[in-house]
């Protein structure tokens, strides 16, 4: 269990940044620290809930896993619980250098589809499909999809036929630290799980100015039992080229 949130520079020397250096100040940051006392953010407004706000999901402090905050589906097939950002956060695209980190856990790997990353659509749209026609770089797990029990690293430029890479890391109910880094100069996207790089790709990366924002969402794929998405920390850093 990761007991404390890990700062964005968990990537280490790979970032090429030094704390306090002038280059550090060029990054624009959007941060949500989610603790037992509430959801605290700066730079914009966070949306927590389901497709039609709180009627589709319940939100509250979690007494398990991350000791953070959580959103829970109802028991209806197709229901989605999510954390995503309001319109004020849609300030970056793949022609920026982007760094994203989320500390997250799911209550079950049975009958769920999970997305975690940077997307051009909110969690309601992204979570409604295994292959949404949106632009994104994100981690995905979907029960039984392609016979894969691992987290996959996905990119798409709105085509609806994503580039999918097996991370080699099994999806479990343990908490994970997910990280993404994009390079505007090369179109390269790097994927990290628990501070270890698990994939890189330049395939199906959107090179347009489509705006993106962070999304965490969980979709219930079979009715009868609710599922919970828990998070403690979500951080996005953006640097214009």
CA–CA separation, 23 and 233 (whole Å): 24
- Token representation of residue 91: 């300030």
Q: Where are the alpha helices (DSSP H) in the chain?
A: 123-126
Looking at the 3D structure of the chain, how many domains does it have?
1
Report yes or no on 116 lying in a domain: yes
176-183 and 188-193 beta bridge pairing:
antiparallel
pLDDT tens, the chain, 241 aa long: 344 444 444 333 333 332 333 333 344 555 554 433 334 333 333 444 433 222 234 444 444 444 567 788 889 999 988 887 655 555 577 777 888 888 899 999 999 999 999 998 888 899 999 999 999 999 999 998 877 799 999 999 999 999 999 999 999 999 999 999 988 878 899 999 999 999 999 999 998 888 888 889 999 999 889 999 888 778 887 776 6
Check which CATH number belongs to the domain holding 91 and give it. 2.60.120.200
Report yes or no on 241 lying in a domain: no
Residue 113 DSSP label: E
Report yes or no on 3 lying in a domain: no
Residue 15 DSSP label: G
- pLDDT attached to residue 232: 77
Report yes or no on 188 lying in a domain: yes
Report yes or no on 59 lying in a domain: yes
- pLDDT attached to residue 99: 87
Question: What is the SS3 assignment for 161?
Answer: coil
Predicted model pTM: 0.80
Question: What is the SS3 assignment for 18?
Answer: coil
Residue with token string 């999901």: 57
CA–CA separation, 241 and 239 (whole Å): 6
- Spatial contact of 76 and 224, defined as CB atoms under 8 Å apart: no
Report yes or no on 103 lying in a domain: yes
3-state helix, strand, coil in the chain (%, to 5): 10, 50, 40
Q: Which residues contact 21 (CB under 8 A, 6 or more apart)?
A: none
Residue numbers of the domain that contains 42: 26-228
Report yes or no on 17 lying in a domain: no
């Amino acid at each position: 269990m990761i007991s404390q949130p890990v700062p964005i520079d968990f990537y280490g020397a790979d970032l090429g940044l030094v704390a306090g250096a002038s280059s550090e100040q060029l990054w624009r940051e959007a941060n949500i620290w989610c603790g037992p006392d509430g959801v605290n953010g700066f730079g914009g407004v966070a949306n927590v809930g389901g497709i039609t706000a709180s009627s589709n999901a319940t939100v509250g402090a979690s007494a398990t896993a991350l000791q953070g905050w959580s959103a829970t589906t109802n028991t209806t097939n197709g229901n989605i619980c999510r954390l995503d950002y309001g319109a004020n956060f849609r300030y970056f695209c793949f022609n920026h250098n982007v760094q994203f980190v989320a500390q997250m856990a799911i209550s079950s790997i049975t009958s769920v589809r999970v997305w975690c990353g940077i997307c051009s659509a909110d969690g309601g749209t992204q979570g409604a499909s295994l292959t949404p026609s949106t632009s994104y770089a994100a981690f995905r797990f979907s029960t039984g999809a392609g016979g894969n029990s691992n987290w996959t690293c996905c990119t798409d430029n709105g085509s609806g036929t994503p580039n999918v890479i097996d991370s080699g890391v099994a999806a479990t109910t343990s908490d994970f630290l997910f990280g993404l880094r994009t390079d505007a100069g090369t179109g390269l996207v790097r994927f990290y799980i628990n501070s270890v790089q698990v994939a890189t790709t330049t395939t199906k990366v959107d090179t347009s100015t489509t705006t993106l924002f962070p999304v965490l969402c969980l979709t219930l794929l079979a009715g009868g039992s609710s599922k919970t998405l828990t998070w403690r920390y979500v951080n996005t850093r953006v640097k214009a080229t």
